Chains A and B, each alone.
Chain A
């Protein structure tokens, strides 16, 4: 079965960096696009970034453009999110999710990122 397991969350000071990972299993990772979606405490879902199955295209939400970088290593079945210049408003549960343009079909359980001094 499809499994997506995020890791790398934690407490970080404003202005610092953090890298999230998402290990995928149960499907052919290099055949699927992948997303990062976040959810601030008590708030709705906010899309963060998307990467094509081969890494050829990447798009970002305006709120993270220039600060976050999505990448993938298909040899390791792993998706990444490099987060730089973190702000308090980046505090959220970060989900990795499988999909491209037509739908997002599987979600991980999420990893909590807290940006606080």
Chain B
């Protein structure tokens, strides 16, 4: 059981938009920055979004992040088949003194 809650899977057609939610509590998302990670099949995770809504260099603006209260959302527009991957949210939990991840969301581009 993950501290952060994500939907197990989402799907959409190429060119469409999808959002992935990440729900937590005041000890984690509510008081700390959220990051999002993309893990393509058979590879290590890579940073997609940091500090809730910032994109590292090289990440296209099709990817966006937002945070409100104890929840965060990853948005992906103009879906491509290459976006098929597992997506994880993560943040620091001040009560646990631990980094926590969501359970991961598998994105399928139909």
Contacts and interface: CB of A to CB of B under 8 A. Distances in A.
Pairing of A with B = yes
Given A45-B88, A102-B50, A107 B44 contact: yes
B51 A47 contact: no
A88 interface: no
Identify which of A61, A107, A109, A110 gathers the most chain B CB atoms within 10 Å of its CB: A107
A27 B101 CA distance: 25
A105 B47 contact: yes
B56 interface: yes
Given A44-B2, A47-B101, A103 B47 contact: yes
Nearest to A98: B47
A95 interface: yes
Nearest to B90: A104
A102 B74 CA distance: 17
B35 A104 contact: yes
- Max chain B CB contacts within 10 Å: which of A44, A47, A103, A104? A103
A101 B92 contact: yes
B101 A108 contact: no
B104 A44 contact: yes
Give the interface size bracket for B toward A.
Answer: 20 to 34
Contacts of B46: 107
Interface in B38-87: 39, 43-47, 50-51, 56, 86
A106 interface: yes
Nearest to B102: A44
Interface string B3-16: 00000000000000
A72 interface: no
A46 B45 CA distance: 12
20 contacts: A35-B99, A37-B99, A44-B2, A45-B37, A45-B88, A45-B101, A45-B104, A46-B101, A47-B90, A59-B97, A101-B92, A102-B32, A102-B33, A102-B50, A103-B47, A104-B35, A104-B37, A105-B47, A105-B50, A110-B44
Interface of B: 2, 32-33, 35, 37, 39, 43-47, 50-51, 56, 86, 88, 90, 92, 97-104
